[in-house]
Amino acid sequence: MPTPDLTRGAMTGLKVVDLSRVLAGPLCTQMLADHGADVIKIEPPSGDETRGLGPPFDENGQAAYFGAVNRGKRGMALDLSRAEGRAVLEALLKDADVLVENFLPGTMERWGLGYEADLSARFPRLIYCSISGFGADGPLGGLPGYDAVLQAMCGLMSINGTQDSGATRVGVPIVDYVTGYNALTGVLLALAARERSGRGQRVEVTLFDTALALLVRHAANWICSGNAPGRLGSAHPNIAPYDKFAAADGEIFLGILNDGQFRRFCQKVGRGDLLDDPRFRSNADRLRHVAALRAELERTLAAFKSDDLCRDLMRAGVPAGAVNTVPQAFAQAHVAHRDMLIERDGHRAPGLPVKLAQTPGDATRRPPRFGEHAQEILTEAGFDQAAIDGLIAAGIITSQK
């Protein structure tokens, strides 16, 4: 087997069969594609649901949501509910390294495609990544899971928002998003283990586990103190001042972690007197008197323009940033410097957040149109034209819409 050219990405030479839909699984496989993997996205005959989650839609009638997590892949539509469709999938798995799926637990087993009972013996090097809401067993096993529902169940909503707003969903689908990263981590760990053992393994990731793990300091604070965390708006339960404040022409966020930063901040805004106030001498003191500290800072910051203040504070080593809208965020000059807004083949999207010096990734291919690459995928898998035409005629393969 020839050595892959890793200058095209660290995952070059890796073949991934992606049976997942919506967000967590597709995000995982998109990141593999960004770094060179050949990702074959297999959709049901009805398509991935996210193709219709709009507006906005692109010029091909495809929702922007779908494009956000499916670039870099080749696509085909396959009816896995039929034996002929499952036979096609098995042909694709003969030389696959990774399979990612997020069906309800038990679905693959009912199709005769379960990892332990069916696939592991036939494809011993295959890494099988299963993503679900709660896992297959236990009190909640097999139940469907969605990001916002898990935010509610696992306490994330209870710590987000203000006392007035009540429990509030985090504005991005954070549980789905981090589940996708956890799935990627699990696949990479399994690939590293395969290098030593020669065998693949099952990787299991659930939204439930991810949501609980996201609580981090809030869970740690509760375990240590016994006190249930509450809603603090944009504030931090362990650090002050670490919050959003109004300036003369907009809002800024101060992330002051230690006493040295607080000292430099006070000097920059002309409030050296706060350093001598016993209420504010240490972080613990500032936390105990956080309401009084907020009153002092709001009165002071109202005289400063947000951009000028943040620039001067950052140059002094004090973390501070304007509270931007999404368009304002992408208008920052540093976005272009970091190549974080890309355009490839007519597809515009945020850039790659992971940058490797020797094996850099690249968003090389726009998201696939529905069923777009079935012909070439099946040809590579050994199907002749008559067989491909037969699969299309029988409705096993769905041609482009």
Q: Which residues are catalytic?
A: 176
Between β-strands 127-132 and 202-206, what pairing exists: parallel, antiparallel or unpaired?
parallel
- Site of tokens 């208008």: 331
Residue 73 contacts residue 34 (beta carbons within 8 Å): no
Please name which of 149, 146, 173, 168 lies closest in space to residue 158, comparing C-alpha atoms. Answer: 168
Please name which of 66, 41, 47 lies closest in space to residue 55, comparing C-alpha atoms. Answer: 66
The DSSP call for residue 118 is I
Residue 301's alpha-carbon distances to 254, 306, 317, in angstroms, are 11, 9, 18
* Main-chain dihedrals φ then ψ at residue 215, nearest 5 degrees: -70, -25
Cross-strand pairs, 243: 254
Residue 96's alpha-carbon distances to 53, 83, 86, 241, in angstroms, are 30, 20, 15, 51
Q: Which two tokens stand for residue 183?
A: 């799935």
- Alpha-carbon distance of 397 to 393, in angstroms, equals 8
- Alpha-carbon distance of 265 to 271, in angstroms, equals 8
Amino acid residing at 109: E
Please name which of 92, 133, 134 lies closest in space to residue 113, comparing C-alpha atoms. Answer: 92
> Left (φ > 0), alpha (ψ -120 to 50) or beta: where does 106 sit?
left
- Alpha-carbon distance of 114 to 131, in angstroms, equals 14
Amino acid residing at 219: A
The DSSP call for residue 23 is S
